[in-house]
Amino acid sequence: MPANIPLPGALSRPIWVTAALQPSGLEISLKGFPMVTVEQLTKRYGSATAVDAIDFEVSKGEIVGFLGPNGAGKSTTMRMLSGFLPPTSGRAEVAGCDVFSESLRAREHIGYLPENVPLYPDMRVQEFLRYRAALKGVPGRRMNERVGDVLELCGLVDVGKKIIGRLSKGYRQRVGLADAMVHEPDLLILDEPTIGLDPNQIRLVRDLIRNLKRHHTILLSTHILSEVEMLCSRVIIINKGKIEAMDTPQNLRSRLGAAGHILFEAKVPDPRLAAAELRKLDGILGAGTRVDGEWTIFTIRPAADADPREAIYELAVSRQWPVRELSRSAVSLEQVFAEVTHAEEL
């Protein structure tokens, strides 16, 4: 019979897991167990606050996108979580270990790929990974197994004996990812893992990250929003050191960008006057124009939960404007990101 039992550990509050008696004994499911717990995490540099009392959790087995404009505090947060940077205040735990008071224990559970991958260009790939595995405490009896596993998983078998400095950027990025994984960490922290790669290399790295979900929890920072939509089950958006939004991509689109945009193409005598008339309709917040030959293309921003397409059509009929298109676009994560971070629309 299933039952809830408290899971002991260093966390400030009890974590409840589901337990059930099976013929073979007690079976415990850790689904939903917080792999990362952050509470009031803050980093200041003098009078400047880079990260301002943020709170969030990442559950075991999740791929979470960590988004924000340049200077928002993404990399600072990731460096604190990985133990590379001490906080000003607050706390963070990885797999139940305090990142700051139990740094060495916490790092056993963390694989970190920074934005600029630190590699030894004069070493061969296999040599480098064996060296890194030894530093991370991989037992000698398992060294060959672990290095072989990450070489195969990251598509590096054919370049294992090559010098790192002679590899392409895509291969060097994969070597960095193999290094992050060689000690079998529970959590992978990936800061801009596809930066500077060509489209084919980006696709290969994305496929690799998607496959890693089976055995790892992943916190992923990227500026490529389509990447987040393809890979991440949840999104955290940080801006000016504060978390502005945290939800699934689908819920963020629905909650923060429900209205989307309406595309209206018509032949009008005066685009400026037509746009002014459109803005007067109920449920329309704004209308931009672009001329395409005889046609004017209006990009209309409706109010949340409003659908003014019928009113637009009736206006076009009353003014005898020929209409080529009247459609509603799906809300993109890019629009949500711009709204949450208060960026100007492009």
The full set of domain ranges for the chain reads 1-30, 41-254, 259-330
| Side-chain half-sphere exposure of 157, counting CA atoms within 13 A | 6
pLDDT digits (tens, 9 = 90+) for 260-282: 689 999 999 999 999 999 999 99
Instruction: Give the mean pLDDT of 156-163.
Output: 95
With beta carbons less than 8 A apart as the criterion, state whether 298 and 264 touch: yes
- Is the pLDDT assigned to residue 132 strictly greater than 50? yes
Share of residues in the chain with pLDDT > 70 (%): 88
- Is the pLDDT assigned to residue 28 strictly greater than 90? no
- Is the pLDDT assigned to residue 108 strictly greater than 50? yes
- Is the pLDDT assigned to residue 24 strictly greater than 70? no
**Residue in 310, 261, 255, 263 with CA at minimum distance from that of residue 282:** 310
Predicted confidence band at 255 (pLDDT cuts at 50, 70, 90)? low
Task: State the pLDDT at residue 32.
Answer: 57
Share of residues in the chain with pLDDT > 90 (%): 58
Is there a common fold for 41-254 and 259-330?
no
pTM over 0.85: no
Task: State the pLDDT at residue 19.
Answer: 42
Please classify residue 148 by burial: count the beta carbons closer than 10 Å to its beta carbon, then call 0-12 exposed, 13-18 middle and 19+ buried.
middle
CATH number belonging to the domain at 41-254, selected among 2.40.30.170, 3.40.50.720, 3.40.50.300, 3.20.20.70: 3.40.50.300
Task: State the pLDDT at residue 258.
Answer: 53
Displacement of CA 151 from its chain's centroid (Å): 25
Task: State the pLDDT at residue 204.
Answer: 83
In angstroms, rounded to a whole number, what is the distance separating the alpha carbons of residues 296 and 279?
A: 15
3-7 vs 15-22, strand pairing mode: antiparallel
Task: State the pLDDT at residue 22.
Answer: 42
Please give the CATH superfamily to which domain 259-330 belongs: MTH889-like domain (3.30.70.1340)
Task: State the pLDDT at residue 20.
Answer: 41
Task: State the pLDDT at residue 334.
Answer: 76
With beta carbons less than 8 A apart as the criterion, state whether 265 and 295 touch: yes
Mean model confidence pLDDT for the chain? 85
Q: 58 or 345: which carries more pLDDT confidence?
A: 58
Structure tokens at 199: 């489209």
Task: State the pLDDT at residue 239.
Answer: 92
Task: State the pLDDT at residue 249.
Answer: 85
- Is the pLDDT assigned to residue 15 strictly greater than 50? no
Residue with token string 């005598």: 269
- Is the pLDDT assigned to residue 1 strictly greater than 50? no
Task: State the pLDDT at residue 343.
Answer: 56
Predicted confidence band at 92 (pLDDT cuts at 50, 70, 90)? very high
- Is the pLDDT assigned to residue 18 strictly greater than 70? no
Instruction: Give the mean pLDDT of 182-210.
Output: 87
